Structure 1
Amino acid sequence: MPLELAFELMMMLTSGCALLVSAWLFWRARSRRSMKALAGFGVMMALWCAGHVAVFYGLDTLGMALILANPLMPTFFLDFAIGFVNQGPGQRPWLSRLARYRGLLYGAAVLVSIITLWQGGGGIIAFGPFEHYFVFQGSGWFNIGYTIFIGVLAHALLLWGFVHHKGNRRRSIAAMFAAGAWGLLLATSFIFPSLGLHWYPWPMLLLPSYVLLLVYGVVRYQMLEINAWANRALLWILMTGLLLGLMALFSAMAGRLGMQALAAVPQWQLWLYSLLLLMLALALYRPVSALVERLVYPGSRLDEQLLETWLAQLRDASGWNALAQTAERLLARQMGQAVTIRLLTQTPFYEPGPGLELWCLHHAQGWQFRLKGFDDVTPGMRLTAEVFGSLLATRCGLLERSLQLAEAERKRVSEQHLVELGGLSAAMAHELRNPLNIISMATAGLDAERKNMIQDQLKRADRLIADLLTYSGQLQIQARAVPLEPLLKSLQPQFDWQRVQFDYVLPANYTLWADAYRLQQVLTNLIDNALAFVRNQPQGHIRLEAGDAPGVLWLHNNGPAIEADMQGRLFRPFVTRRQGGSGLGLAIVQRIMEAHGGHIRHRNDAGWPVTFEFSFPEEPAS
């Protein structure tokens, strides 16, 4: 191939690549001013290369005008650098002011271009294989000097941004510097004939790579889709190089293998045929791939938009039930039949039902999915379920971590609230007990009946203060094995049973792993609360018995059943049905049980009007 033709083709290729990349940038970054400036840089690069082509065809005036307009190229790049660096939280006022005066920079570039063109800043010479080649003359050196100055200024601004930015923006700037060094190396040979060095500009044959590398280095950290495009482009470039090498080797070996007719074919024709076949394969790859996928996986219609829809709707589910319902609806809509979704923290012991089921199981290594009942479905349906199961398992892991963080934050706020409440309660107790003591001392001279009435009310107030301190204070649990029967016998004399029957049904030597003092508080509060309701009942009865699991106790009484609207609020502070009660008894019991790692709940299915079930943790193995 003639060297002049090779240079001309490379200039055309660079111009075409620059225009295509600029159009893509302008379309993809409509709202980003800096990317529009980079697109302008690409357009000017295309016009600069077109100027060389115009010179080759004898259009000297047009060609020189386009080449001498090269100050606009670094001006567009400087505009891009200003906008790219001055983004994010680190914006600088001086850069914002510079951006407002960008019009002056463009005006100066246009003025330099016009003056150098008017004063004959370039000429056309012939050397080597070139009949027409542009060289700088006279004022043209000012043109190239101004161009270099603006380019250096733009890269100095990028260097400043590299120092002050982090993350992807800093990586983009580093990629721009690497591409700029490559572009400088390639463009240096363009100016040699202007210096009297009539060397063929070999490096400029690689100029198309500069535009692509520069734009790719900028946007690869900003737009993820460009990386997928670059991956495909690099693959096809490598395939092209490999194919051309194989064809060259085959052409050289054809004569020795007895294929004289093939050996007589010019090598460039073999390369051309190979490139045409490769381009045809590239054009047919997507439709053939889609056809093969439909044949292998009939009924499967998975694309990026569908996956994004699935991810968005699964992300909106804020709880396990909502996530399972959303997943069932999405998968059933895609497959055209009902699918049961089960989100399980451990492997179940039951067998799957007759329909289609997708299980998401929690293992030590994370969430994984399993398909049940999919043996007879088409491969396309199974592929759809597998892709959906993978997305659902990922979402289960994210939701689990989100709920754990929310629970940790709730506990932190609750503990902080209790600390504040504890301090407030201690101060109130101190302030209240002082006047109560004074009132108690003032009753010394009163008659016995009035004195007893006042003392009873003072004891009630003191008990309320003690309950408030217990509820709001920090609970320190020192658990050990506590025999329950001796503790019950020691508590019984403390209560005014009147005619209420109390008994317990416990295994021999029954023990609980608990704090003895706090266990006594739990039993005292629960029995005292039950007595308040059954003491006036005919044949009042309270029974404590062991539950159906170790550490579980049931406390029954035959008092009036608890209303349905009260059952959900029983353990809240200051909620009570008891006349004269503080409303803290059950709330204190719940706090003590939670401090042990246990729980308490109300039950109405144990055969008694009222039953409280409270459980303590099992005694750890020695």
Structure 2
Amino acid sequence: MTLFIAFEIAIWVTSVCGVLVGAWLVWRGRKQGDLKALAGFAVMMALWCFGHLALFHNLQTLGMVLLLANPLMPTFFLHFAILFVNEGAAWRPWLSIIARNMGWIYATSVLIVLLSIWGGAGDTVALMGGRPFFVFNELGAVNLGYTIFIGVLGHGVLLLGWRQHTGNKKRSILAMFGVAAWGLLLATSFVFPSFGINVFPYPMLLLPSYLLLLVYGVVRYQILDVNRFANRALLALAMMLVILCVIAVFGTLSGRFGLQALTTVPVWQLWLYSLVVLLVAATVYPWLRRVTERLVFPGAVLNESVLESWNLELNKAESWSDLLNQGGQLLAHHLRQPVGIYMQDSDASEPLYLSVEKTANGWYVQPSQTEDLSPGMRLTLEVFSSIFATKCAALERSLALAEAERKRLDEQHLVELGSLSAAMAHELRNPLNIISMASYNSPPETKRHIQEQLTRADRLVSDMLVYSGKLTLQYQSVAIKSLVTNVLSVLNMESVLITVQIPPELEVQGDIHRLQQVFINLIDNALAYVRNQEGGSVCIEAHMEQDACVCRIHNNGPALDASIKQDDLFRPFVSKRPGGSGLGLAIVRRIMDAHHGIISHREDLGWPVTFECRLPKSPQQASGETSHV
């Protein structure tokens, strides 16, 4: 009697699981035909199990109808297999034809079912203490054979898919084959009575596992929620088995320790009580965990939304300064007090800060000045430090990729323009020299005009060679003020007011000749726009900001065309002043890039036009090394 109850419970569980799984698949697979077909398979399996339950409770007509509808179950599975396999790179036209004509296969299956019901293809035998159990008679052989044929055909389609697909799709098909072997083992016991083998179908006690494992094998690589649920389900099952073992051992040994009352309690009751306790504990655990965290770590509000917000904001950083500033703002907002994040060896200006350090084992972030903080704030700092270290490593990789891409583009740029500039130098300078010699006996005014135009053409050729050629940097200490003074001595300043605000001791590591060219181009460009206007003024200032030397060349000339974007401004021939080559700013950017610096145009410093150069005080190359760009 107990065995029959266990069997009926297993069938009930399978039926309920089939309905729930079918509904869930229809909901999750609203736009996926394969999941809808799998939902049909789950529902038909539930109905098949209901047929067994109907026979158990003397509803013979209903039970026979549901059990003889057996062929519809593999038909749904065949439909699912075709749709699951026939997509992506493994698409096969003939499978699409079968999918479009699945209605005929469904119709054939329905016809087999109707003929089986009309001809009485099933009977019952007394099994499990006289309870009726379904068996196929001679006419039912057609029903059973057709069911087996469609099932084999469905798994044949999966075999084809396993050979054609790769990756997660192939893993899913492999998992389905493993589950199919398990299902075959369970289903074999169902047909034993049909062949006169009156053995209790013990494997059918595990029937609920077949449907769940099949669905899990299909969707585990598509729907992440299923894996989370499976993880919790396996954990619950493991806990149930552990409790079962502990209760069995405890019930056996309790009498030896004077606990006679427990020896009279049935083991299944002790197990049931323990499961109830486990269920209650699992229900209240999340709430109790939040309460204890608030008591032990007051003020620490760390949940999935906070961590996700931190990750999203930190992912927006495109430079180290952005990352440090963004991290400090996030942490300060969360802790409601000023927080700074600094690289190692930087001077911290906040009482509470995080020190970021690159070690041989990766990035390391250490909170400092935390002695007076609450446990909750310390926990927040530790969690944030771990996340921030991960973002440092990600940004480092991103910048390395960007640098590699920049070098690739530079190399491509050199290949394209190098040959062009060499050809121009050869083809243009020879005729320019001939024109210069031919103008020797021209009238003075004509000769002067020709020489001016020849000088302009020669400068255009020279700028093209500088822009397209390879830059070789010889690093040394460069005094910025002295450099600017030398540049101003060779430029035509006429009536322009020049102001220099540079500390005499300000120095950087760089190539003095290339940096001189930067200042010549920028200052000459500024003079060209203010030289012929009343009250023309140019201001040159420089100072240190952290580890960078910031040089700014201001002028009160007309503002640049607002239609020119920041990135386009430093491209060749985009912004061309009268008499210029159109390459001045492009050359400046090339030299600044070679020094690992930044050149930008600004309008927010009180002057109509400002060009700002940021040069690292200590570039990556050591002093005296040669850099080729």
What's the TM-score once normalised by structure 2's chain length? Answer: 0.76
1:619 to 619, 623, 626: 623
1:412 to 408, 415, 436: 408
CA–CA separation in structure 2 for the residues paired with 1:427 and 1:378: 71
Change (3 A) 1:203 1:212: same
In structure 2, what residue type is equivalent to 1:350?
A: A
Aligned-partner SS, 2:123: strand
Match for residue 464 of structure 1?
Answer: 460
Which whole-Å deviations, capped at 9, do the CAs of 1:353-372 have from their partners, x for residues lacking one? Answer: 3xxx5637242344444445
| 1:422-433 → structure 2 map (5 Å cutoff) | 422-433=418-429
Could you tell me whether the CA contact under 8 Å between 1:44 and 1:72 is conserved in 2?
Answer: yes
Change (3 A) 1:91 1:315: farther
In structure 2, what residue type is equivalent to 1:95?
A: L
| 1:91-170 → structure 2 map (5 Å cutoff) | 91-127=91-127, 129-170=129-170
Identical columns (%): 52
Shift of 1:515: 9.5
In structure 1, what residue type is equivalent to 2:336?
A: A
Match for residue 542 of structure 1?
Answer: none
Does structure 1 residue 454 correspond to structure 2 residue 426? no
Which whole-Å deviations, capped at 9, do the CAs of 1:448-490 have from their partners, x for residues lacking one? Answer: 775565355434423432232222223345x488999xxx9xx
Match for residue 47 of structure 1?
Answer: 47
Match for residue 252 of structure 1?
Answer: 252
Shift of 1:140: 1.5
CA–CA separation in structure 1 for the residues paired with 2:272 and 2:477: 92
Match for residue 75 of structure 2?
Answer: 75
Change (3 A) 1:18 1:299: farther
Change (3 A) 1:235 1:524: closer
| 1:166-565 → structure 2 map (5 Å cutoff) | 166-316=166-316, 335=334, 338-350=336-348, 352-353=350-351, 357=352, 359=354, 361-364=356-359, 365-371=361-367, 376=372, 378-433=374-429, 435-440=431-436, 442-443=438-439, 446=442, 450-451=446-447, 454-455=450-451, 457-476=453-472, 479=474
In structure 1, what residue type is equivalent to 2:111?
A: L
Change (3 A) 1:147 1:417: same
CA–CA separation in structure 2 for the residues paired with 1:187 and 1:224: 30
CA–CA separation in structure 2 for the residues paired with 1:216 and 1:343: 45
Change (3 A) 1:456 1:258: closer
Could you tell me whether the CA contact under 8 Å between 1:328 and 1:341 is conserved in 2?
Answer: yes
Shift of 1:123: 0.4
Could you tell me whether the CA contact under 8 Å between 1:128 and 1:198 is conserved in 2?
Answer: no
CA–CA separation in structure 2 for the residues paired with 1:90 and 1:291: 53
**Structure 1 stretches lacking a partner, 5+ long:** 500-506, 537-546, 605-609
- State the superposition RMSD in angstroms: 5.0
Higher-Rg structure is 1
CA–CA separation in structure 2 for the residues paired with 1:556 and 1:6: 85
**Structure 2 stretches lacking a partner, 5+ long:** 495-503, 533-542, 561-565, 606-610
Shift of 1:121: 0.9
What's the TM-score once normalised by structure 1's chain length? Answer: 0.77
Change (3 A) 1:401 1:344: farther
In structure 1, what residue type is equivalent to 2:623?
A: E
Pick which of 186-195 and 441-450 moved more. Answer: 441-450
In structure 2, what residue type is equivalent to 1:462?
A: D
Aligned-partner SS, 1:70: coil
Aligned-partner SS, 1:138: coil
Aligned-partner SS, 2:31: coil
CA–CA separation in structure 2 for the residues paired with 1:135 and 1:575: 87
Which whole-Å deviations, capped at 9, do the CAs of 1:164-191 have from their partners, x for residues lacking one? Answer: 2222222111111111111111111111
Change (3 A) 1:74 1:384: farther
Could you tell me whether the CA contact under 8 Å between 2:475 and 2:624 is conserved in 1?
Answer: no
Match for residue 19 of structure 2?
Answer: 19
CA–CA separation in structure 1 for the residues paired with 2:600 and 2:317: 29
Match for residue 539 of structure 1?
Answer: none
Aligned-partner SS, 1:126: strand
CA–CA separation in structure 1 for the residues paired with 2:236 and 2:194: 38
Could you tell me whether the CA contact under 8 Å between 1:41 and 1:76 is conserved in 2?
Answer: yes
Shift of 1:297: 4.0
Pick which of 137-146 and 580-589 moved more. Answer: 580-589
CA–CA separation in structure 2 for the residues paired with 1:598 and 1:332: 30
In structure 2, what residue type is equivalent to 1:240?
A: M
CA–CA separation in structure 2 for the residues paired with 1:275 and 1:553: 70
Shift of 1:194: 0.6
In structure 2, what residue type is equivalent to 1:464?
A: L
In structure 2, what residue type is equivalent to 1:473?
A: G
Could you tell me whether the CA contact under 8 Å between 1:358 and 1:369 is conserved in 2?
Answer: no
